[in-house]
Amino acid sequence: MVPHRSQTLMDKYLKTADTDWYKQRITGVIVCALAAFVVLLIRLIVLQVIMGDEYRHLSLNNSIRLQSIDPPRGRLYDRNGDLLVDNRPSFDVNITLKDAAPLDPTLDKLALHLKTPADTLLSQIKQTRGVSAYSPLLLQQDVGRDTLASIEVNKFDLPGVSVNVNLRRHYIRERQAAHLIGYLSEISPAELKSGSYPDCRSGDLIGKFGAEKVYENSLRGKRGGRQVEVNANGLVVRILKTVAAEPGHNVYLTIDQNLQHRAEALLEGVVGAAVAVEPATGKILTLASSPAFDQNSFVGGITREQWKSLISNPFRPMSNRAIQGEYPPGSTYKIITALAGLQEGVIDDKTVLHCPGHYRFGNRIYRCWKRGGHGKVDIIKAVEESCDVFFYQVGQRLGVDRLAWYAKAFGLGSPTGVHLDHEAHGLIPTAAWKKRRTGVPWQKGETLSIAIGQGFNLATPIQMAVLAAAVANGGHRYRPLILDNIKLVDGQSLQKNEPKLIGKLPVSPAHLELVKLGLWKVVNGENGTARGSRLADIDISGKTGTSQVISRKQDESMAEEDLPVHLRSHAWFVAYAPSEKPTIAVAVVIEHGEHGSGAAAPIAKEMIKAFLRKTPVNAQVAAQKESADTANGG
Amino acid sequence: MFDRRLVQYFDWGLMGLAILIGCVGLITLYSAVTAETPAPQKVLFFKQLLWFSVGLIAMVSAFLFNYKILDRWAQPIYFGCIALLLAVLFFGKYVGGSRRWLIIGPVSLQPSELVKIAVIIALARYYSKDAKTSGYTLRELVRPFMIIMLPVLLIGMQPDLGTAGLVVLIAGSITVFVKIERRSFIYLIGSGAVVVPLIWFFLKEYQKQRILTFLDPDRDPLGAGYHIIQSKIAIGSGMLSGKGFLKGTQNALSFLPEEHTDFIFSVLAEEWGFLGSVTLVLLFLILIIWGLNVAHACREPFGTILAVGVTAMIFWQALINIGMSMGLLPVVGVPLPFVSYGGSSVLTTAISIGLLLNVSMRRFMLD
């Protein structure tokens, strides 16, 4: 029943849809469906009948292929723009199985060029599974120019074989800042599945450690590719479309390459770490851990044996001691005890305590490191000469929990937040902690050990460096930074890293100045424990530390030198310089180095010297002054 | 109790047609999974065979009862499917950046497939109540709009924009079929013309790029653009009579992505040529006209709209999938009914055919 023209408008609007009306609309739908399918049919005719020949030809040897273009990975520089990590070209020999057929004669010929038995090549091919016969398969990396030339000349004789130029990571100075910079390695199936590396494919190299890992997303760049047409031999005859690769961003680290190099040279042959920080910003100038590993050995794929020997090495070269090494801070901890004591009012600048060389507490005797005692000691002398008896009493007056509160406020016991993986926490014990951990209540005598940095206390070199920087700059704790800037390839700055204040030392400026005077005397005073490390032209302030590996009472009679190496104490030195307006703060730890003054302080001194006497003129003047000084002083 | 006429009126032709398409699909799928590199995945073929048996049962179940009770069941079915979609968002399996599957024991289910039928039933119920020849006004369209948008948003959140768009297309077709009042229609078109450029203006650059690439795959020569080229080569190289069963080469090289799901048509066209692909296209056309004919023969609105909706679903999927393979339409993951691999898709299509059979065999019943 089609609505009739003569019906009123009103009727037309109120009309209920009935079967006939639906039928009419279905006719319209059928027409639409037919029209759409006619388009499909026409397209089929165009593709299969009219252009069929052309497409059949293209399909014969699957001539349209994709080749990927790897992006150059971003470079790493130090704070002065000195290149640390670069890419260098490597000539890699690939084979595309489908084009190489018949495989055996091709491999036989290729074997002559590569000077590798054909059987080896074949087994190599068989090992790589799951690769399409149409994508190139890597046979040999980094072949020499002669091999390259001989393959290129004979390439018509070697179907399916291609030599590609790829970029390989190149760490310019072997082992330099290895733990900080890190290394690359092949992406694991788990990492591929994790979704954190959306652009990566199996076989890609990604940063696995250090800055290479942390800044992976900036460094990687974006893969490009091209659609090409190839002939029957697999040679490209036409490039159809290209998407250029986007190079990764360049990363500028905060470290100073020269200082890093100096620190590593100084740590050569010992086990330990050295960290240097810029007090005003928290930027890390040096982060060295010894022994180190060779990053370049990871680039071409490390063998199982090489990895095993790295992992099983008793000196653990893969461990970054600067942020992962946890050591009792020893006497360097007295900086905290001193400031806590002053701030809490249990001592003041006039407090004088007597040190007879030991301190009786309960029925036990706690020794001072100096057998004969220090006599009358005030706070400055206590710091200068590192008098244990003085600090036993300060610690006793404070109690373990108040001391722990200060230590935590100074940044110990928790990671500094440096942008590197696996930073250790260290440990600052409280009475509650010990009860929870061991079930045994806190013994009052243990507080005495804690007050001089022994016992349960543990700190990492980077924590101590940040602490020294905070003391140096008047109490500001900055997060240690390893990243200075990320720049685009054209030099445009992308992400400038700004200093980040993470806390303030809870002490008054007057107290801080008092302790800083003591720290100055450590190096420059008559009886300073690190007097041997003073410089003529640069005032250094610092604190030595000797952290016992075994508790002293058992071996009281034994001299350090007579102990087996693994039981000897660790040597610490934290310092900053110049004392008046510090521009560098350093923490050095030498495992089993025995004494802070003997093993650690000289390294810190040399680092400070290298950093502050940058220009050759300054260095000369200083050297002259120094020799004159030694002549005078004897 | 049992009406003899049910057998008399049973639409054997429709069922035969569906089974024929299913057979073509299985043969093509066999070829696709056999050639899959690096390793053939014949297990997929047998899984699909199993799903076809399940589908057969689902199809029979879908025509045994009188479809009119769906009018009463529309809401529970709809909200049941919504609940499944919510479950996917929370418990769904995470694959390649989206959650689409619910894993129930050994079975993985894609609720967004089933929800298409739920939406069709819900809309058929609403539109069959008091339809007027003048069409629906904007105010009357608010409820259907909500019925459509709830699942569309949930599917969009997975995210599965292809299926979400498909639901919109199917629901939109039904709505246009029952007619939108002329002035309301002009308003809709007009506001669309204003809103779309406005949205475009507020999109971020990368979002614009993504949409442009979607509309023009050539902009992505390493991804979708490459897939389209390979698909076109595969189809074109089939020429008139094809390369023969299991002789396809494009397919064999895994140059075709998702060859057993989204690009299955290319496999068929390469191996069976123009003759084969025209046959499949015509089979789909016959199925669609048949479905519309069922709607035509039905003498009450609910059945008519239900039949139109189910047919629209098959129509859009076939059109989009085949059109995409030939480079006519953007690359979206829409399965070709009965041909692409996928249990939920087979199940949904089988239920649709069952519903068509249901409406068809009860066309004599007049309440």
Q: Give DSSP secondary structure letters for A461-512.
A: HHHHHHHHHHHHTTSEEE--B-EEEEE-TTS-EEEEPPP-EEEE-SS-HHHH
At CA A122, angle to CA A116 and CA A123, rounded to 5? 100
- The terminus-to-terminus CA distance of chain A in angstroms comes to 125
CA end-to-end span of chain B, whole Å?
16
Question: Which residue spans within A144-283 are E strands per DSSP?
Answer: 161-171, 184-186, 205-207, 224-230, 236-243, 250-253, 272-277
- Tell me the pTM: 0.75
Q: Out of A3, A33, A49, name the one closest to residue B315 (CB).
A: A33
Amino acid identity, residue A121? L
Residue B1 — very low, low, confident or very high, per pLDDT cuts 50/70/90? very low
- Per DSSP, chain A holds a count of helices (H) and strands (E) of 25, 23
Contact call for residues A238 and A249 (beta carbons, < 8 A): no
pLDDT-based confidence at residue A624 (cuts at 50, 70, 90): low
Q: Which amino acid is at A188?
A: S
Better pLDDT: B225 or A283: A283
For residue range A392-447, list pLDDT tens digits in order: 999 999 999 999 999 999 999 999 999 998 999 999 999 999 999 988 999 888 99
**Domain spanning A257-295+323-486+495-613 has what CATH number?**
3.40.710.10
Give the separation between CA A540 and CA A609, rounded to whole angstroms: 10
Length of chain B in terms of residues written? 367
Q: Taking the mean position of all CA atoms in its chain, how far away is CA A144?
A: 33
Taking the Cβ of residue B278 and every Cβ of chain A, the question of whether any pair is shorter than 8 Å is answered with yes
What is d(CA A160, CA A139) in angstroms, rounded to the nearest whole number? Answer: 12
* pLDDT reported for residue A622: 58
Which residues in chain B have their CB less than 8 angstroms from residue A134's CB?
A: 253, 255
Going by pLDDT thresholds of 50, 70 and 90, the confidence category of residue A634 is: very low
Contact (CB<8Å) B132/A13: yes
pLDDT: which is higher, A138 or A271: A271
Rounded Cα gap, residues A634 and A624, in angstroms? 15
| Positive/negative CA dihedral, A574, A578, A579, A582 | negative
* Residue % of chain A over a pLDDT of 70: 92
How close B283 comes to chain A (CA, Å)? Answer: 11
pLDDT on residue B284:
97
CB A596 within 8 A of CB A625: no
Beta bridge pairs of residue A572 = A545, A589
Say what the pLDDT of residue A60 is: 80
| Catalytic site includes residue A331 | yes
**Cβ distance of A52 and B239 shorter than 8 Å:** yes
CA A487 to chain centroid: 19
**Burial call A450-475: b when 16+ CB within 10 Å, e when fewer:** bbbbbbbbbbbbbbbbbbbbbbbbeb
pLDDT digits (tens, 9 = 90+) for A73-122: 999 999 999 999 999 888 988 888 878 878 888 888 888 888 888 888 88
pLDDT computed for residue A619 by the predictor: 55
Cβ-defined contact of A59 to B249 (cutoff 8 Å): yes
pLDDT single digits (tens) A169-192: 999 988 899 999 999 988 888 888
Q: Which of A162, A290, A331, A547 is catalytic?
A: A331
Residue among A526, A594, A511 nearest A385 (CA): A526
Phi, psi of A15 (to 5 degrees): -65, 130
pLDDT of residue A555: 42
A291-325 per-position pLDDT tens digit: 999 988 888 777 888 888 888 888 899 999 999 99
Name the token pair of A294. Answer: 């060779």
Question: Are B307 and B315 in contact, with CB atoms under 8 Å apart?
Answer: no
Query: Is residue A559 over pLDDT 70?
Result: no
**Other beta carbons less than 10 A from residue A509's beta carbon:** 10
pLDDT digits (tens, 9 = 90+) for B94-104: 776 778 888 88
Burial class, A110, CB count within 10 angstroms (exposed 0-12 / middle 13-18 / buried 19+): buried
Between CA A528 and CA A514 the distance in angstroms is 16
Taking the Cβ of residue A33 and every Cβ of chain B, the question of whether any pair is shorter than 8 Å is answered with yes
Chain B from 172 to 191: CB within 8 A of any A CB = 177-179
Interface test with A, best of B235, B237, B256 (most A CBs within 10 A): B237
CB < 8 Å & 24+ apart, contacts of B32-35: B32/B251, B32/B259, B32/B260, B32/B264, B32/B267, B32/B341, B33/B260, B33/B341, B34/B246, B35/B246, B35/B248, B35/B251, B35/B252, B35/B259, B35/B267
Q: What was the pLDDT predicted at A6?
A: 45
Give pLDDT, residue A587.
96
Mutate which of B213, B296, B367 to test chain A, going by most A C-beta atoms within 10 A? B296
* Model ipTM value: 0.92
Residue B331 or B17, more confident? B17
Burial class (CB in 10 A: 0-12, 13-18, 19+), A597: buried
Among residues A123, A203, A109, A229, which one has the least CA distance to residue A161? A109
Contact of A91 with A164, CB cutoff 8 Å = yes
Locate the domains of chain A by residue range.
Answer: 257-295+323-486+495-613
Q: What is the SS3 assignment for A164?
A: strand
Q: pLDDT tens digits, residue range A510-549? A: 999 999 999 999 999 999 999 999 998 899 999 999 988 7
Residues A172 and A84: their CA atoms lie apart, in Å, by 6
Predicted confidence at residue A561, as pLDDT, reads 57
Beta strands A284-290; A353-355: pairing state:
unpaired
What is the pLDDT averaged over residues B216-231?
Answer: 83
Instruction: Report yes or no: B299 at the A interface, CB cutoff 8 Å.
Output: yes
Helix (H), strand (E) at residue B103 = strand B98-104
Statement: residue A617 has pLDDT above 70:
no
Residues A601 and A595: their CA atoms lie apart, in Å, by 9
User: A68 - beta bridge partners?
Assistant: A225
Residue B299, SS3 per DSSP:
coil
Q: Give A227→chain B minimum CA distance, Å.
A: 7
Q: CA A473 → CA A154, A278, A465, A470, B124, distances in Å?
A: 67, 9, 12, 5, 76
What secondary structure letter does DSSP report for A177?
Answer: T
**How far is the C-alpha of A391 from the C-alpha of A331, rounded, in Å?**
10
Which residue would you say has higher pLDDT here, A3 or A30?
A30
Question: B253 — contact with chain A (CB < 8 Å)?
Answer: yes
Contact A448, A392 (CB under 8 A): yes
- Distance, C-alpha A631 to centroid of its chain: 44
Residue carrying structure tokens 């929800």? B115
- Reply yes or no on whether the pLDDT at B4 is more than 90: no
pLDDT of residue A423: 94
* Spatial separation of the C-alpha atoms in residues A424 and A413, rounded to whole Å: 9
**Residue A618: per-residue pLDDT:** 54
Nearest to A64 among B132, B230, B249 (CB): B230
- Can you tell me the distance from the alpha carbon of A335 to that of A341, in angstroms, rounded to the nearest whole number? 10
Grade residue B133 by pLDDT with cuts at 50, 70 and 90. Answer: confident
Provide the pLDDT for residue B95. Answer: 75
Cα A53 off chain centre by: 58
Share above pLDDT 90 across residues of chain A, in percent, rounded to a whole number: 54
Find the range with the poorest average confidence among A155-159, B234-238, B351-355: A155-159
The answer to whether the CB of B260 falls within 8 A of the CB of B36 is yes
Cβ B59 vs Cβ B360: under 8 Å: no
Q: Residues 127..156 of A with a Cβ closer than 8 Å to B: which? A: 129-134
Q: How confident is the model at residue B125 (pLDDT cuts 50, 70, 90)?
A: very high
Looking at CA atoms only, how far is residue B252 from chain A in angstroms?
10
Q: Confidence band (pLDDT; 50, 70, 90) for A505?
A: very high
According to the model, what pLDDT value does residue A68 have? 84
β A250-253/A483-487 pair status: antiparallel
CA B132 to chain centre: 29
B132 phi and psi angles, rounded to 5 deg: -120, 150
Listed in order, strand segments (DSSP E) in A266-335 are: 272-277, 284-290
Contact predicate A72/A222, CB 8 Å:
no
Whole-number pLDDT of residue B288: 97
Cβ pair A12, B134 in contact under 8 A = yes
**pLDDT tens profile B166-190:** 999 999 999 999 999 899 999 999 9
